Amino acid sequence: MNQTATNDVDVLAGDYYTRHFAAGPNDDTLILNMGPQHPSTHGVLRIVLEMDGEYILRAEPVLGYIHRMQEKMGENRAYLQYFPNMGRVDYLHALAWNWAYAGAVERLAGIEVPPRAEYLRVISCEMNRICSHLLWWGAYILDLGAFTPILYAFVDREEIMDLLQIITGSRLTYCYFTFGGVTADATPAFIDGTRAFIKSMRSRLPMFKGLVTDNLILRKRCEEIGVIDLDMARRYGATGPVLRGSGVACDTRRHEPYSCYNEFDFAIPTASTCDAMGRYLVRMDEISESLKILEQALDMLPDGPFVNPKAPRKVKPAAGETYFSVESARGKVGVYVQSDGSTTPYRVKLRAPCFSNLSLFAELSAGTLLADAVSILGSLDLVIPEIDR
Amino acid sequence: MIPACLAGLAHARTVDSATARTGFTTNLALEPAAVHDAAAALYKAGYFLECISGADFAEGFEVLYTFDRFEKPERVALRTLAPHDAPVVPTIADIFHGALWHERECFDFYGVRFEGHPSLLPLLLPDDMELRPLVKAPEARKSREAIVFQTPAPPAAADSAGEKAAADPEAKAKAKAAALAKAKAKAAKTASETAQAAGGDPA
Amino acid sequence: MSLVKNICDTASGLYSLLVGLAITGKNFASPQLTIHYPRQEVTNLDTYRGHIELVPLEDNPILSCCVGCGMCAKSCPSGCITVESKELPKPPAIEPLASAEPGAKPAKAKRTVGSFILNYSLCSLCGQCVRSCPSDGLRFSTNVYFAARTRAEMTIDLVERFNRQAAGKKGA
C-alpha cells in the first residue's frame, strides 16, 4: 500500500524511504545513507541522514533489514518449540530473552522453579551479561577508531564462552532454560572455572580503565555527546544503561524483582552526566556488580533438582495474558504472552529495549557531527536483530 | 487499582484480573476516543511509554498500551478496540514520541491506522507488501472475553485445595483460571452480551 | 586560572596516552593466546553441542535405544527429523514347545529405528528432540569438524553414522 505525499516525491531519486525523506524543507543539503552495510551500526541498520557539511540536520533510521517476523512464529509453534527463537532475538544476551519467555509462560501456566534452578539461571544470565558488555565495550572502541581493545575484550569473552559451553553446550545463542528450570546442571568444573574467572576478570578491569577509560581521546569522543535528559527517556521509553546514564536508578532486577535477585547485595550504578561517557561508565560498573552477584550466587548455590520434575511436557496454560520483564544488558526486556488455552500461544509480543532506545536517535542526533552520531549509536548499545525481531 | 491521574476517565471498563498473574497493576479497557486524554494524563503524572502492541480478536483489533514508572513498579495497561473493517485509533505520538515507531509497527502487522500520526510508513515490512501478517483468519480468532476479561472466581469453599492455593498467589491464580475456563465455555456468550449492554460498568 | 587548568588537563591527558602505550607494550611482549588451528587444537570439545546422534543400548551396543517412535520429529520446531521404525527380527526359539505355555500370546516384536534422517541445515540445536525422547535414544555429538559444501551433504543419515561408530568400536 503506497503512501504518496506530493507529486514531487515520485520525481526524486532513491528508494521508497529516501524519496520520502528527501521531500523535506531544504533543497541544498546532502542526503546520505549510513548503512545498512556499515561497520558502526552494529547490525543491518540503515540511517538516512540529511547533512549540512559534517553536521546532521535530520536523521531517520530505516528498519526491517533483519526482520524475521518472530512474533508470527510465536503463534505457530508450541510453547516449548519457541525457545530457540529467543536466543536469536538478542544473540548477545540470549539468556535474558530465554528468561523473559520462560518466566512469562511459567506465570501463565503456574509452573514453579526449584531454588537451584533459580540460582543457575542467575549465574548463567550474569555471565552472559558480562560477555555482552565486553563485546559492547570492544565494538564501541572499535567504532571510535581503536583496534586493540576489542581483542583484549575477546580474551575475557573466550573464558566466559568456554565456561558457558560446559553447561549449555553453546557459545552464543544459548537455549539453556526450559519451563520449570534449566536443561543441565552445573558441574564442579563449571563452578571452579567460574570462581577462577571472577578473579581473573577483576584483575583485568583496572587494565581496561588505564588503557581506555582514562584515555584522553576516548574522553574527548564521549564526554558531552548525546545528552539524554529524563523527559526524553520518558517520552521514548528508554531503559537500561541508557536511562541509568541519565541518573535514574531504575533496574528491573530491583524495580520489579524476579527470581531470587532480592537475595543478592549489589548496587545500581548511575551517572549524572546524561552523556555517552555516563552510559559508558555505567556499563563498566555493571560488569563489577555482575561479578559481585556471581560470587554471591556461587556461595549460596543450594542443592536440589535443576528442573521442576512436575513441569508438564506439553505446556497448555489456562486462558489469560501476562507481561514478564527482565533486565538484559540493553535494558528492560518484556515478553507479553496471551494464551487461549491451547498448546500454541495466541499472541506473543516481544518488547525490545533497543527498539525504544533507538527511537530517540532521530531527536538526539539533530545538529551533531557525523562522527559524534557514531559515538551516540555505540553508546546506545544496539543489537539490530532485537530491534527488527 | 486505578491511579489518580486516570480517575476521571469516561467509559472505562476495568479488567479485573490478578496482578500477580498478568503483571499489570491497572488494566483498563477504553474507547478509542479516550486514549489520547489518558496518555496525556499519564505523561503529566510522570509515566513512561513501555510498549504498544496489537492483537486480533473476534471483536476487532485490540491495541494495548503499557506504561510504567521509573520510581516504583506500577504497570498501567490501557486497551482499546478498533473494528476489523475500519481500524482507526487516534495517535499518542504527539505526547509520547516513542509511539511514532510503536504505532508504525502496529500498522505494519495489523493494518490499524493511527489518526494524526505524522508519517505512518511501514517500519519493519517491505514498503510494497500488502499482507498484514498478524491478522488471523476469521475462524481462528478467539473472543477477547475469554482471554483478557477474566473476572475472578468467587471465593473458594474451605476445602484443602482452596486453603493450599490461598498460600501461593501463583497457584491461586492458576486454580481460579482453571476453574473459570470450564465455566467460561458455557457462559461466554451471555457474559459478553451483558457486558456490552451494561457499558461502563466497572465490576 | 583557566590557563593553568588547561595545562593540567593537557598534561594528564598526555600521561593517559603514555599509560595506554605501556599497557599495549606489555601485552605485545606477552605470549600469544590465539590457537593456531590446525597446528594446535582447542581442548574443550567434549562439552560442545554438535548435531544429534543415536545412543547405543548398554547391553547390546550394536542396537540403539531409539525405537523409531517419532516423538523427536513431532517436537522439533524446525521439522528437520524424518524417522521410521522397523521391526527387529525375532530371535529364533531354541525350545519353542518347552517355553510356550498353552494359550499364551506370541511376544510382540521389538522395534528399532529403521531410518533416521537429520536435515542439519534447518537444525537450531535447541535440544527439544533430545529431551523429548522417551527412551533416551538421542544425544548431542561432539562433531565440531563437520563441514559441508553442498546442501545435500548437510543431510546426515544418523543410522549409518551409528553403524559406523558401532563397527569402529568393535573393530581395530
- Interface membership of B96 toward A (CB under 8 Å): yes
Tens digits of residue pLDDT in B26-79 = 888 888 888 998 999 999 989 999 999 999 999 899 999 999 999 888 889 999
Closest CA to C33 of A284, A204, A206: A204
The correct CATH number of A70-388 out of 2.60.120.10, 1.10.645.10, 1.25.60.10, 3.50.50.100 is 1.10.645.10
The span from the first CA to the last CA of chain B, in angstroms, equals 12
Q: Do C44 and A166 touch (CB under 8 A)?
A: yes
What gap in Å lies between CA A209 and CA A201, rounded to an integer?
Answer: 13
Name the grid cell of A335: 515478553
What gap in Å lies between CA C153 and CA C105, rounded to an integer?
Answer: 46
What's residue A7's pLDDT?
Answer: 45
C140 to chain A: nearest residue by CA?
A169
Spacing of C-alpha A263 from chain mean position: 24
Please check the confidence at residue A68 and state whether its pLDDT lies above 60.
yes
Tens digits of residue pLDDT in A294-312 = 999 999 999 999 999 888 8
CA-based torsion, A208, A214, A219, A223: positive or negative: positive
Residues of chain C with pLDDT under 50: 171-172
Distance from the Cα of B144 to chain A's closest Cα (Å) equals: 10
Percent of chain A with pLDDT over 90: 71
For residues A160 and A127, the answer to whether their CB atoms sit within 8 Å is yes
In this complex, which chains have at least 3 CB pairs below 8 Å with chain A? B, C
What's residue A288's pLDDT?
Answer: 94
Whether ipTM tops 0.95, in short, is no
Average pLDDT over every residue of A318-329 = 92
Q: Domain ranges for chain A, please list them.
A: 8-62, 70-388
Q: Is chain A adjacent to chain B, meaning 3+ CB pairs within 8 angstroms? A: yes
The angle subtended at Cα C103 by Cα C98 and Cα C105, nearest 5°, is 90
In this complex, which chains have at least 3 CB pairs below 8 Å with chain C? A
Average pLDDT over every residue of A350-360 = 93
Q: Which of residues 85-114 of C touch A (CB under 8 A)?
A: none
Q: Which of residues 139-178 of B touch A (CB under 8 A)?
A: 142, 146-148, 150, 170-171, 173-174, 177-178
Residues of C with CB below 8 A from A148's CB? 24, 27
Distance from the Cα of A216 to chain C's closest Cα (Å) equals: 5
- Count Cβ atoms within 10 A of the Cβ of residue A104 and give its class: 0-12 exposed, 13-18 middle, 19 or more buried: buried
DSSP state of B184: H
The angle subtended at Cα B117 by Cα B112 and Cα B118, nearest 5°, is 140
Residues of B with CB below 8 A from A324's CB? 23
Q: Do A363 and B97 touch (CB under 8 A)?
A: yes
Residues of A with CB below 8 A from B94's CB? none
* Beta-sheet strands, E only, within chain C: 52-54, 81-87, 111-119, 138-140, 155-157
- Interface membership of C126 toward A (CB under 8 Å): yes
What gap in Å lies between CA A330 and CA A145, rounded to an integer?
Answer: 23
Collapsing DSSP to helix, strand or coil, B80 comes out as strand
Percent of chain A with pLDDT over 70: 95
Full-model pTM: 0.86
Residue with cell 569438524: C145
Number of H helices, E strands in chain B: 6, 7
Name the grid cell of C51: 548435531
The strand pairing partners of C157, in sequence order, are C117
B21 vs A156, residue with greater confidence:
A156
Q: Which amino acid, one-letter code, is at A57?
A: L
For residues B87 and B111, the answer to whether their CB atoms sit within 8 Å is yes
Instruction: Go through A204-215 and write b for each residue having 16 or more CB atoms within 10 A of its CB, e for each that does not.
Output: bbeebeebbbbb
What gap in Å lies between CA C3 and CA C7, rounded to an integer?
Answer: 6
Residues C59 and C85 grouped into a single domain: yes
Spacing of C-alpha C51 from chain mean position: 4
Residues of C with CB below 8 A from A80's CB? 75, 128
What's residue A14's pLDDT?
Answer: 75
The strand pairing partners of A350, in sequence order, are A335
Name the grid cell of A137: 565495550
Residues of chain B with pLDDT under 70: 1, 10-11, 16-18, 151-203
Name the grid cell of C95: 525350545
Residues of A with CB below 8 A from B56's CB? 347
Name the grid cell of B28: 483498563
Residues C5 and C76 grouped into a single domain: no
The strand pairing partners of B82, in sequence order, are B61
For residues A295 and A264, the answer to whether their CB atoms sit within 8 Å is no
Confidence class for position A350, pLDDT limits 50, 70, 90: very high
C14 phi, psi to nearest 5 deg: -65, -35
- Interface membership of C33 toward A (CB under 8 Å): yes
What's residue A368's pLDDT?
Answer: 92
Distance from the Cα of B197 to chain A's closest Cα (Å) equals: 24
What's residue C170's pLDDT?
Answer: 60
CATH code for residues B4-144: 3.30.460.80
Average pLDDT over every residue of A83-108 = 93
Residues C19 and C50 grouped into a single domain: no
Average pLDDT over every residue of A96-117 = 93
What's residue A311's pLDDT?
Answer: 86
What gap in Å lies between CA A358 and CA B186, rounded to an integer?
Answer: 47
Alpha helices of A144-274 — where are they, by DSSP H?
A: 149-168, 188-208, 216-222, 230-236, 241-244, 252-255
What's residue C103's pLDDT?
Answer: 57
- C39 within some domain: no
Please confirm whether the linkage preceding C38 is cis (ω < 30° from 0): yes
Pairing, β B48-57 against β B60-68 = antiparallel
How many domains, in total, are found in chain C? Answer: 2
Name the grid cell of C54: 543415536
Q: Do A155 and C20 touch (CB under 8 A)?
A: no
Distance from the Cα of A270 to chain C's closest Cα (Å) equals: 24
Q: Which amino acid, one-letter code, is at A292?
A: K
Spacing of C-alpha A191 from chain mean position: 26
Average pLDDT over every residue of A15-37 = 78
- C22 lies in which domain range? 1-30
Contact residues for A254 (Cβ-Cβ < 8 A; gap 6+): A261, A268
H or E segment at B42? helix B35-44
Q: Do A81 and C48 touch (CB under 8 A)?
A: no
What's residue A242's pLDDT?
Answer: 93
Please check the confidence at residue A281 and state whether its pLDDT lies above 70.
yes
C142 to chain A: nearest residue by CA?
A169
Average pLDDT over every residue of A180-188 = 92
β-sheet with B76-82: strand ranges across: B13-14, B26-30, B76-82, B60-68, B48-57
Q: Which amino acid, one-letter code, is at B107?
A: F
Q: Which amino acid, one-letter code, is at B75?
A: R
Residues C116 and C159 grouped into a single domain: yes
Q: Do A81 and C23 touch (CB under 8 A)?
A: no
Q: Do C125 and A148 touch (CB under 8 A)?
A: no
Q: Domain ranges for chain B, please list them.
A: 4-144
